[in-house]
Every structure is written in C-alpha cells, then in structure tokens.
Amino acid sequence: MKYWFQVHTGNVCQPSPVNVDLVLQRLEAFADRHQLDGVFAGWGAAPEVYEILVKKLQEWHIPFYFKSAAFSEIEEAPRLLAQWGREAGQLSYEPMMDLHMEEAKPYHLNEEENFLFRCPSSPVNRRIMEEFALAFTDRFSFDGVFLDRIRYNSLISGISGMGCFCPGCRRIYRDKGVDVDHVRQLLLEAEVHERTEVQGAKDVPGDKKILPAIYREGIWIFEDPELNKFFKARSEIIIEAVRSLRERLQARGKKLGLDLFTPSAAYFTGQDVLGLSKEADFIKPMLYQFTDAPAGIPFEMPFVSALTGRYWSVTEVFDADLQLLKKASCSVYPGIEVNVIDPICRVSPRELQETLKKIEQSGFTGIVCSWNMEKMPEENCQVLFTEKTIS
C-alpha cells in the first residue's frame, strides 16, 4: 500500500507553525520504503514551508500539490491576491442564497473551519478560487492543485441550505429546464417536516420519507422529476467550475485532484462523484467511518437517511461506495482517518488496520491519510509503516 499525506499550513493569511523537521522525518521513512505516493500542503501562505518541501520532494521524485479550497474557508484569498499584485485581489465574494433568499449561514466547527459556502456559479467567486490556486502554482514548484470544498452546503445546513437560489443560479436552473418555483415550494414544504425528522436524525434513523428517493451509482433519484432536474443542474454547475480550473492548470502543465464526499452523501452537496472523476487526474473520496463532523459518514448519512427514508449502517455505506469508486474515470485514492481529534474522531490502530485491509482487498493500491501528517499519533503511523497484524 502507498500513501498520500497532508500538511496543514493554517488559514490563508494566518499560517500555522509547521514542524518541518518532523514532517520530513516521517515522509522520508515512507519514501525509503517506496510507500510515499504524494503530498498535499495548504492552504496558508507559508512560503518557507513550501520551498523546503518542494526541494526535498523533487529529490525523491514525489508529486507535491497545493491544497486549496473552492467556495469555503479561504475568506482572505482576495487580501492575499492583492498583496501578491494579482488583479483578482480587487474582487469580493458573492454570497450563497438559501431557500428563503437569505445569505447562507456558516456551520462553525472550530477556529479554522466555518463551512460558510458561497455561490459556485458566480463568475466572481470562480475567478477568486482559480486565481488563488494559480497564485501558488505560479509562485512555487507545485505539480498541481488538490481542490477542497468544491460543493454546496451539505445537509448539516438543513433543507433551506440546499441552494443556491441567488438570481444567477435561478436563471441557470431555468435555462436547464427546471421549474424553480415548483422546486422551491416542494423544498419549503419538506422543510416543515425537517425539524422533527432531520434534526432528530443523529439519534434515531429516519423512517419517514420527506423527499422519497432511491440511490443508484452515486446519484439519488427522486420521485419528483423537477427535483431530479434541479439536483442534476446543481451537479453540472460544480462540474463546470472544476472544468474551468482544470483547463487553466493544464495550460500550465499542472494536474488537478479533488477532495470529495463519500458518494452516498456527495450528491446532496452537488457532487456527482463519477461525473467529477472525468474532470480530474485523481479524486480522494472521504470515506470517513469514525468522524462525527462534516464529511464523516456517521455525521452526514443520518441526515440523508432521514430525508430519503433509506437507512444504511456506516459499514454498508463504506463497502458500497468503495465498490462504486472502481467505476471512476481517474485514479482513486480513498481518504481515511489516521489522526485522532477529540471529540470528533477517535480511530484506533486496530480500526485503521482493518480499514487498510478492506481497501487493499478492494483493489486500491493507494490511500490519502487524513488529515495532518504532523499531528498523526505515533501508534497509527506505526500501523501504516509496519503493516503488522495487531493482536
């Protein structure tokens, strides 16, 4: 098994200190065993960190990607672009509008993650996203961009957060044949039931169908045909945003990787995983079995279950999505938890080893170790390094 590792450098203009010596020591241990497949680092402005890592990884012939974000978590991107003399530094983000035509609200997880999403169809927002990523690949010798937050809000924001319903997005929906008024009315009615069904989903599996749907190969198919057209339009908006960045990266000889939700939950965020796999050099689906926070299977899927009436265990979701990912059009490196972060994630060495075994048995040869290599517990690093059976 080969590994991709992530190095977190903090927020855009507030970089976090990185223990580069520890990171290099750990990377070298895997490189010596020919188990190091690649590294992502970002999204803070940390030139000295990138320069050190670039030099060493080039010596080892290991791919190095700038980890960026699309529509959330890079609030200070225009400020940095202005400091670096790029024209996009004069731009300001345009908000995502929820079902009630109000600005989308953030989901505050911690000091560095607010999950405040902005309109993904906005040309302004897309330009900021692209220019921010390209500013780093132009400035440092990255091999490409690893793009995160390329989506809408997930169901943690409830049905009202399934936008965007700004004037531009509504126009796009109509151009794609969506009866926007019907969809809004349907979602507003569904929202009435949401407070009792979805909000209780963390404790009790939903047994009522608020928006009846069936799951088929990464796509949720709803009983209402207009809702299907609406969800398809959202996924096409996300694909178009990815395609635009990919084309600009390709013109520079750079590659693109995508950080995506696990397929069963992804479509509710606007991500058609198999469709997006046609626009990238590789994808990292977040197959997080032990994370009670955004993108974690045990966190996201109860909301999906309460909405659709379709309940799966975490293991069932993991196994089904792992098989589906074999149909992707690009390389797939499943993302799994290695870090322990109280109180949202506690993965034991045994659980890590069992996950690695499942992935390997499914035919995948590489994984992404989430989230931050510098802060991975030593006992979990040893599982990756030794691959010995834990009794």
Which pLDDT band, with edges at 50, 70 and 90, does 194 fall under?
Answer: low
Residues 6+ apart with CB under 8 A from 32: none
Residues 6+ apart with CB under 8 A from 376: 26, 338, 339, 369
pLDDT at 291 over 70: yes
Q: What are phi and psi of 126, to 5 degrees?
A: -65, -40
Percent of the chain with pLDDT over 90: 85
The model carries a pTM of 0.95
pLDDT at 370 over 80: yes
Residue count (the chain): 391
Residue 345, SS3 per DSSP: strand
Of 115-124, 266-275, 318-327, 380-389, the one with minimum mean pLDDT is 380-389
Residue 169, SS3 per DSSP: helix
Residue 288, SS3 per DSSP: strand
Which pLDDT band, with edges at 50, 70 and 90, does 348 fall under?
Answer: very high
By the 10 Å C-beta count (0-12 exposed, 13-18 middle, 19+ buried), 391 is classed as: exposed
Enter the DSSP assignment of 81: H
Q: Within its chain, how far is the Cα of 59 from the centroid?
A: 29
Among 66, 12, 15, 76, CA closest to 38: 66
Residues 6+ apart with CB under 8 A from 49: 7, 9, 15, 18, 20, 41
Question: pLDDT value at position 196?
Answer: 55
Question: pLDDT value at position 63?
Answer: 98
CB distance 80 to 132 below 8 Å: yes
HEC secondary structure over 11-48: ECCEECCCCHHHHHHHHHHHHHCCCEEEEEEECCCCHH
Enter the DSSP assignment of 42: E
Among 222, 216, 245, 247, CA closest to 234: 222
For 125-141, what is the mean pLDDT? 98
> What is the C-alpha to C-alpha distance for residues 365 and 384, in angstroms, rounded to an integer?
13
pLDDT at 202 over 70: no
Of 185-194, 283-292, 333-342, the one with minimum mean pLDDT is 185-194
CB distance 341 to 294 below 8 Å: no
> What is the C-alpha to C-alpha distance for residues 108 and 306, in angstroms, rounded to an integer?
22
Helical H segments across 42-116, by residue range: 47-60, 77-83
Among 234, 291, 227, CA closest to 266: 234
Higher pLDDT: 158 or 373? It is 373
CB distance 93 to 129 below 8 Å: no
Q: How many CB atoms lie within 10 A of CB 388?
A: 9
* Helices 180-197 & 297-308 angle (0-180, nearest 10): 110
Q: Round the average pLDDT of the chain to a whole number and report it.
A: 93
Helix (H) or strand (E) holding 149: none
> What is the C-alpha to C-alpha distance for residues 190 and 20, in angstroms, rounded to an integer?
50
Enter the DSSP assignment of 283: E
For 341-351, what is the mean pLDDT? 94
Of 56-60, 189-193, 240-244, 322-326, the one with minimum mean pLDDT is 189-193
